[in-house]
Structure 1
Amino acid sequence: MDSILNKGPFAPCPSPFNMAAHVLGRATMQPEKVALTVMGRSQDTHWSYAKLEAAVRGTGTGLLRLGLKAGDILLLRLGNTPEFPIAYLGAIAVGVIPVPTSSQLTLGEVEKIVATLKPKAIAHGASVPSPEEGSFQRISEADLAEMHALPPCDYVVDEPDRMAYIIYTSGTSGRPRAVMHAHRAIWARQMMFEGWYGLKDDDRLCHAGAFNWTYTLGTGLMDPWTIGATALIPEDGIPPEALPDLMKSHSASIFAAAPGVYRKMLKSGSTLDLPTLRHGLSAGEKLSEPLREQWKKATGTGVYEAYGMSECSTFISANPTAPAKNGALGSVQTGRNIALLAEDGFAPQGEVGQIAVHRSDPGLMLGYRDANEDTAKRYRGDWFLTGDLGVLSEDGQIHYKGRNDDMMNAGGYRVSPLEVEAALLAAPEAEKLTALAVCDVEIKQDVRIIAAFYTSEAMVDEAVLEAQAKDILAAYKRPKLYRRIDAMPLGPNNKLRRAALRDFL
């Protein structure tokens, strides 16, 4: 049996269509309901659906009055404030193309983006690195705030396949790529409501991330607003350890975060008192089984994982009615058409293949901007190649096997780093670790071994980790070298730069 999972098609996106209008469609039905609460240390800030829509449509008017028009590019260099999603939706409402970027980018990185993107304007926060001069307008956060009171713009509606926004993703070559998405991308995210979230209109979804992170932007804000739920976001600077008390006081029913946040919240080893929480959501990197079990023990709730990428919204996931089994990511969402590809066709069930998305998926990108050749390289026929590897089990679940270019080579064997990391994290001594990652390293010409790098607050008995590896892993999968380092090498979005581990040797 080949690894092909066609769970579609999903209901077609209406036409004409506007993404911002779709996200705020509940505003007229429930104008006084709280759409957003910014959870503060001493004081909260609340945004009703009516106030939110007024701010978005006023921002759209303000952008037009500044001379921006449909198709112009607005680069978002904003801080961790509600101005970020408001400017994002305000631009989309009038056909301006917003480009959200991480506030952690350096000025040099931003200047490279500006040089190729050539934005008409840059919306900037005072503390966020941004070019001072150039052939663009500068719009401050104060300018954006003043736009909230302007008369509401009309939503620009047109074909759902036209471009709505651009996001940047790391390329395998190390050069960031500008990923173009259509208005229909928000329509496709509805497949996640049941397929991952278990989201309802009376939910109060708390996302641990910053406003200016695309994971927060989609899962924490756009999706709850689309269904009419309430989004809960911690104010800037609140540490993960403080989130349980905030979640309890705000009656959070769903929690979303990256695995690293879960790890920090569980650091004390105490039970977390979250009486209204139904479950947690995880994405961004692989969630380890020990961490999932720790959360279950501490809260009595499950964590459901999803797999997606910058080029396509999540399409493989577990959910409350179909939890993952035996360490799997989960199942293909209803409405999706997914396959695992071998070098010469479809991978047989039970064998490793590259995860691929059919080009008909409404959540799939339009392409990389000004890079038709790079876009074409990502396709094999009608299938978009994700660069990630997976295995389809007999029960229809997909087990993640790491990046195609992260797969390690040890003695001629291909080894997933995730498998080795999961084994080591199950060791008793792993409680002392704050982070762990493995990669293959070349110790002399044509001789590669697997090395384990870790951070810890206390000294770790590496012999215990070695014994754990010996008990669980085949000899060729075991690390031959252990190295304690001060900090893991992370990219702008806090994702591990695995190749950079080799610099610590």
Structure 2
Amino acid sequence: MPAIPDDRSPPPRFNGARYCLEENARLRGDKPALVLAGDGGRTQVLTFREIDRAVRGVAAGLRDLGLAPGARVMIRMGNDADYVVVYFAALAAGLVAQPSSPQLTAGEAAFLMQDSGAAAVVAAADCPLDPEACRGRIVLRQADVARLRAGPPLAEYADTAADDPATLVYTSGTTSRPKGVLHAHRAIWGRRPMHEHWLGLREDDVVLHAGTMNWTYTLGVGIQDPWARGATTVLYNGRRDPGIWPALVAAHRATLFAAVPSLYRQILKYADLPAHDLASLRHGITAGEALSPQLLAEWRAATGKPLYEALGMSEISTYVSTCPSVPVKPGSPGRPQPGRRVAILPVEGPPRPLPPGETGLLAVHRSDPALMLGYWNRPDEEAAVMRGEWFVGGDLASCDADGYVWFEGRNDDVMNAFGYRVSPNEVESVLAGHPDVQEVAVTELAVRDDVRVIAAFVVPRSGAAPDRAALLAWCGERLAAYKCPREVVFLDTLPRTPNGKVQRKRLAAGQGTA
């Protein structure tokens, strides 16, 4: 790959798909780009040349459908190669890719396509679509994608500006509905500090990622980053068994393995680690949840391999991390990556960075090329996260004298469920619709020192006796699985402030009124 310049700013004309694919197809066309591992040893391998050709074919087909530059293309597919192809094809055509989870219900997906104004929806057969929400939109199924892949390819990637919109991802915030985070093409360029200062990424690496393609953690660390360096990606689309991951590392000679802490914990509990050769693995990568010192020590003891953590979010991905050249301090996600402007700001008052040791809001300067363009049609929420020249995402933290960040919790009530941000308001609004529920509050609940789950605290209507299983089933019909509560606690009343606001922190601390 060409030498990476020292400057932080991308070229004025920049296309994220071209950056990841064009040079790779020319210089290393026969090298495996994407390896999809399935059940029973089933494997699909696509080279950089094949991926580039497929992306250009679908991009040309999307343009031929009459989609205008910047039109949103919602992707509602499973964990397969077409997901990757359609994502990069949208960027290649100058459109905006809108990844979504196949776990979403038809109602949740309908809200996203209506809120975004998606012009097209690309969906797998087993991903339900609301017919009314699809009215007036182009709907493509996988047979259509296959036809476009085989069609005449796009001659040139779209000549987009670095600041042109490229990706729209929806994330939970403090409201009852997810909000769209709009990223520019430059966001892919802005990930480059992570390559050296978190992943330790090299061209000869084989990166195994445990996530699904719709997740920004997977799209970024599992696909965009390896391809930006000419490395190979391995993803798994078989049965979700924690015991499979050591076998996949051994079978594909993976050098880096990326997952959330919850999965590392499950691997230690359920996998037969000594039965697999992990000699190829240099280290593990972890993000999405806090890595506890206990889990870090247990993984090291069991495998002899280090784990390198990072802290980030949908609006800017990761910007604080450890890496092979940054020693790990257990309990800290690390230091700001070189080239990042990171500060701790007061919760209230002028946005003047605080000195080491003081707790405040973790902030990133708005000049960072990886920072979002903004929230989709949410100017009020966008204004709320900008403090002068700084973006603040709600994380409370402090920095020590060595520059390490120490996470101190959230300044809002947003929860973290296995690496996904979940709004308690969204879950509460669903449960409040149950006929037996008078009041409800949702928060995280610690079930172990390093394990937290979503819990619903329910006040039943007078004379009603709601069943825990029925409430969970109610949620399961209306929410993606990762948003659903794992625990239901019945109370006589909810704890409130003198002004009537529910005190979720008291519920999380077990101070509800039974």
Task: Calculate the TM-score normalised by the size of structure 1.
Answer: 0.80
SS at match of 2:298: helix
Choose which of 209, 217, 220 in structure 2 pairs with 1:218: 220
Is 1:231 aligned with 2:225?
Answer: no
Q: Give the aligned partner of residue 13 of structure 2.
A: 16
Q: Displacement, 1:292?
A: 1.3
CA distance in structure 2 between the aligned counterparts of 1:168 and 1:224, rounded to whole angstroms: 24
Task: State the Cα RMSD in Å.
Answer: 3.0
CA distance in structure 2 between the aligned counterparts of 1:496 and 1:323, rounded to whole angstroms: 37
Q: Displacement, 1:495?
A: 6.9
Q: Give the aligned partner of residue 87 of structure 1.
A: 86
Choose which of 239, 242, 245 in structure 2 pairs with 1:240: 242
CA distance in structure 2 between the aligned counterparts of 1:309 and 1:275, rounded to whole angstroms: 32
CA distance in structure 2 between the aligned counterparts of 1:370 and 1:51, rounded to whole angstroms: 37
CA distance in structure 2 between the aligned counterparts of 1:372 and 1:499, rounded to whole angstroms: 35
Q: Give the aligned partner of residue 284 of structure 1.
A: 288
Choose which of 350, 360, 373 in structure 1 pairs with 2:380: 373
Is 1:26 aligned with 2:19?
Answer: no
CA distance in structure 2 between the aligned counterparts of 1:243 and 1:267, rounded to whole angstroms: 12
Q: Give the aligned partner of residue 308 of structure 1.
A: 312
C-alpha contact 1:10 1:334 (8 A) present in aligned 2: no
CA distance in structure 2 between the aligned counterparts of 1:495 and 1:337, rounded to whole angstroms: 33
Is 1:355 aligned with 2:362?
Answer: yes
CA distance in structure 1 between the aligned counterparts of 2:172 and 2:294, rounded to whole angstroms: 29
Q: Displacement, 1:12?
A: 1.5
Q: Displacement, 1:115?
A: 2.2
Q: Displacement, 1:496?
A: 8.7
Is 1:116 aligned with 2:115?
Answer: yes
Q: Give the aligned partner of residue 200 of structure 2.
A: 198
C-alpha contact 2:344 2:354 (8 A) present in aligned 1: yes
> Which stretch of the first structure deviates more once superposed, 356-365 or 262-271?
262-271
C-alpha contact 2:243 2:272 (8 A) present in aligned 1: no
CA distance in structure 2 between the aligned counterparts of 1:439 and 1:340, rounded to whole angstroms: 31
SS at match of 1:165: strand
SS at match of 1:148: helix
> Which stretch of the first structure deviates more once superposed, 243-252 or 317-326?
317-326
Deviations 1:106-144 (A, max 9, x none): 111111122222211100011112223411010001211
Q: Give the aligned partner of residue 400 of structure 1.
A: 407
Is 1:391 aligned with 2:393?
Answer: no
Is 1:424 aligned with 2:449?
Answer: yes
Q: Give the aligned partner of residue 341 of structure 1.
A: 345
Q: Give the aligned partner of residue 140 of structure 2.
A: 139
Deviations 1:285-306 (A, max 9, x none): 1111111111111111011111
Q: Give the aligned partner of residue 49 of structure 1.
A: 48
C-alpha contact 2:360 2:396 (8 A) present in aligned 1: yes
Q: Give the aligned partner of residue 165 of structure 2.
A: 163
Q: Give the aligned partner of residue 469 of structure 1.
A: none
CA distance in structure 1 between the aligned counterparts of 2:242 and 2:73, rounded to whole angstroms: 31
CA distance in structure 2 between the aligned counterparts of 1:79 and 1:22, rounded to whole angstroms: 25
Is 1:323 aligned with 2:320?
Answer: no
Deviations 1:218-241 (A, max 9, x none): 110111111100001112324221
Equivalent runs, 1:439-478 vs 2, <5 Å: none
C-alpha contact 1:166 1:181 (8 A) present in aligned 2: yes
Give the residue type in structure 2 aligned to 1:22. Answer: Y
Q: Displacement, 1:23?
A: 0.9
Q: Displacement, 1:499?
A: 11
Give the residue type in structure 2 aligned to 1:13. Answer: P
Any gaps of 5 or more consecutive residues in structure 1? 1-7, 409-416, 426-434, 444-485
Quickly say closer, same or farther: Cα 1:127–1:91, change in 2 above 3 A. same
Give the residue type in structure 2 aligned to 1:396. Answer: G
CA distance in structure 2 between the aligned counterparts of 1:192 and 1:328, rounded to whole angstroms: 17
C-alpha contact 2:455 2:487 (8 A) present in aligned 1: yes
CA distance in structure 2 between the aligned counterparts of 1:224 and 1:244, rounded to whole angstroms: 20
Give the residue type in structure 1 aligned to 2:395. Answer: D
Q: Displacement, 1:102?
A: 1.1
Q: Give the aligned partner of residue 262 of structure 2.
A: 260
Aligned residues: 438
Give the residue type in structure 2 aligned to 1:216. Answer: T
> Which stretch of the first structure deviates more once superposed, 235-244 or 20-29?
235-244
SS at match of 1:298: helix
CA distance in structure 2 between the aligned counterparts of 1:195 and 1:97, rounded to whole angstroms: 29
> Which stretch of the first structure deviates more once superposed, 107-116 or 91-100?
107-116
Q: Displacement, 1:346?
A: 2.5
Deviations 1:343-401 (A, max 9, x none): 23322311211101111010000111112222111111111111001110111110111
SS at match of 1:232: strand
C-alpha contact 2:454 2:484 (8 A) present in aligned 1: no
CA distance in structure 2 between the aligned counterparts of 1:347 and 1:84, rounded to whole angstroms: 43
C-alpha contact 1:180 1:369 (8 A) present in aligned 2: yes
Q: Displacement, 1:437?
A: 5.2
C-alpha contact 1:69 1:94 (8 A) present in aligned 2: no
C-alpha contact 2:335 2:405 (8 A) present in aligned 1: yes
CA distance in structure 2 between the aligned counterparts of 1:358 and 1:9, rounded to whole angstroms: 19
Give the residue type in structure 1 aligned to 2:137. Answer: F
Deviations 1:19-74 (A, max 9, x none): 10001132210000010111122321100000010001111011112222312111
Q: Give the aligned partner of residue 177 of structure 1.
A: 179
Q: Give the aligned partner of residue 420 of structure 2.
A: none
Deviations 1:416-448 (A, max 9, x none): x99x969935xxxxxxxxx445999999xxxxx
Quickly say closer, same or farther: Cα 1:53–1:492, change in 2 above 3 A. same
Deviations 1:74-117 (A, max 9, x none): 11111111111110100110111110011111111111122222
CA distance in structure 2 between the aligned counterparts of 1:91 and 1:97, rounded to whole angstroms: 6
C-alpha contact 2:54 2:150 (8 A) present in aligned 1: yes
C-alpha contact 2:174 2:414 (8 A) present in aligned 1: no
